[in-house]
Structure 1
Amino acid sequence: MDTTIADDPVRAFAEPPLIDDAAELLASAPLHAIVYAFTSSSYVCGRADDALLKQRLETRTRGIPVVISSAAAVVALKVLNATKLALVSPPWFSAEMDRQGARYFQACGFDVVHNGPAGLPSDQQAIQPGDLFEWVRTHTPKSTQAVFIGGNGFRAVGVVKALEDILGIPVLTANQVSFWQALLLSGSQVTITNYGQIFNHRPPIDLSAK
């Protein structure tokens, strides 16, 4: 993969027809939720485009709700009453894409107290949990109320509990919040442990309207 990913291919990934056709094909299965797991397009295109993308895809899924990872993170942060956010991007996000991510959450009303790509190898297979743990631990300001590790290709879920234990605040990842919201939309009662405080919470709102 490229050392850093460019904006134009990321933007194109969210455009019709391929993603729309894929959503329609998935909707032929007996599903209760479908996840669009691509944090970078949210950062590049913005919150308003996420809402339009969700609406567009749900016309092809015939009402099966579509979860957008970054939008799910916004819901999770609100449920957790966290307003001061440390944003961690994968090393293959450029500095500008990371800043776009900060603007995304700022537009949603959050105070981004830290943001930056993790100083780790720009190689998905080379990311080691211990290295990510140390980087996040040492780069999270004390004023932070929650950490969001963006990037659906970022191997991050294995460090969530350890980081929450040592930082004393919720730690969210793109795939984790997507899974959390999809489980809620599916009506599943399964218990999830050791993958973050967010699984102890249910939002007092209709997620299907999000």
Structure 2
Amino acid sequence: MAEPTPVPADGWAARARIGVVVPHADVGPESELQALAPRGVVIHGSRVHFGAMRAGGEMDRKIPHAPVRAFVEPPHVDTAVELLAAAPLDVIALGFTSSAYVLGAAGEKDLFDRLSGHTRGLPITGTTRAAVAGFAALGARRVAIVNPPWFDDELSDLGADYFGEHGFEVVQHGPCGLPSNQKLITPEALTDWVRTTVAKAEPDAVLVAGNGIRAVGVIDALERDCGFAVLTANQVLLWHALHLAGATDVLPEITTYGRLFAVAPN
């Protein structure tokens, strides 16, 4: 009797399904999350209008703060979360960094308390919440924050305040000195900038913040060359989401995106 013909993969089998809320014109979070994800971990996106982005992903050289705050105000982000939670997912993630800077630690807690009411009981995390957990899991106290070039100095200062509120010593922070255009940032340029500008501050760990900056390709080289742990917005978001989803069996398969995947949240 002939062997049965194998059924080709059709995308229905999944080891974990992660829903992510992203700005309407940004492909960066989904692109990096799917690149990081092991086989069988599937990313499902939901989009919310972000007033600082235009069609084609174009932005101002420095994004204004009002649209950053508006992104996380009801009702649109609440609706996006509720619609994602209606699907058979395991966890929901907010792929947006700057809102936490503007809200501060207490305001971010209020945001997630509100959004949790729309998740159908699914766990929910966000970039900065995940970064705080990542720094703690790595035992990092002295941290550097590399922000996208489209963050202005005031927004960067608010980010430093946010991590300071969580008990970390921010030894360096600021917008990176690269072109303020998503399409012009390369892993090579970002690696060089961090190596020459941030390493001298001798942090325990660095966060390359901003889910829209091309960053996951710098992690291994910087950890190898500089010695500190490297977190990026989408890397740490995936790490935290997988732990919240209970999908820890897939973590050993992520071997080229930093030491973070070898530790667990405290």
Scaled by the length of structure 1, the TM-score of the pair is 0.95
Which residue in 2 is equivalent to 1:207? none
Q: Which residue of structure 2 lines up, in the alignment, with residue 126 of structure 1?
A: 184
How far has the Cα of 1:50 moved from its partner? 1.3
Runs (4+) of structure 1 exceeding 2 A deviation are none
Per-residue deviation at 1:142? 4.5
After superposition, what is the alpha-carbon deviation per residue over 1:54-97, rounded to whole angstroms, capped at 9, x for unaligned? 11111011211111110110011001110001110000000110
Is contact 1:145-1:170 (8 Å) kept?
A: yes
Q: How many residues are matched?
A: 204
C-alpha RMSD of the superposition: 0.9
Match of 1:73 in 2: 131
Counterpart AA for 1:157: V
Question: Is it true that 1:195 corresponds to 2:257 in the alignment?
Answer: yes
Deviation at 1:143, TM superposition (A): 2.5
Matched, 1:99 2:157: yes
Identify the match of residue 177 of structure 1 among 236, 260, 265: 236
Tell me if 1:26 matches 2:84.
yes
Structure 1 segments unaligned to the other structure (5+ residues): 205-210
2:148·2:176 contact (CA, 8 Å) conserved in 1?
yes
CA distance in 2, matches of 1:96, 1:40: 11
Gaps of 5+ in 2: 1-58
CA distance in 2, matches of 1:165, 1:122: 27
Alpha-carbon separation, structure 2, partners of 1:156 and 1:167: 16
CA–CA distance in 2 between the matches of 1:113 and 1:60?
Answer: 37
Residue in 1 that maps onto 2:19: none
Counterpart residue identity of residue 199, structure 1: F
Aligned-residue offset at 1:185: 1.4
1:61 aligns with 2:123: no
CA distance in 2, matches of 1:64, 1:50: 18
The structure where strand makes up a greater share of residues is: 2
| Partner residue in 2 for 1:139 | 197
Normalising to structure 2: TM-score of the pair? Answer: 0.75
Which one has the largest radius of gyration?
2
Question: Residue by residue, what CA displacement relative to the aligned partner does 1:11-49 show, whole Å, maximum 9, x if unpaired?
Answer: 011100000000000001111110101101011111111
> Identity of paired residues, percent?
50
Match of 2:175 in 1: 117
The equivalent of 2:141 in structure 1 is: 83
Confirm whether residue 149 of structure 1 aligns to residue 208 of structure 2. Answer: yes
Counterpart AA for 2:145: L
Letter in 2 for 1:61: T
Distance 1:33 1:145 in 2: 29
Give the counterpart of 2:225 among 166, 172, 179.
Answer: 166
Counterpart position of 2:110: 52
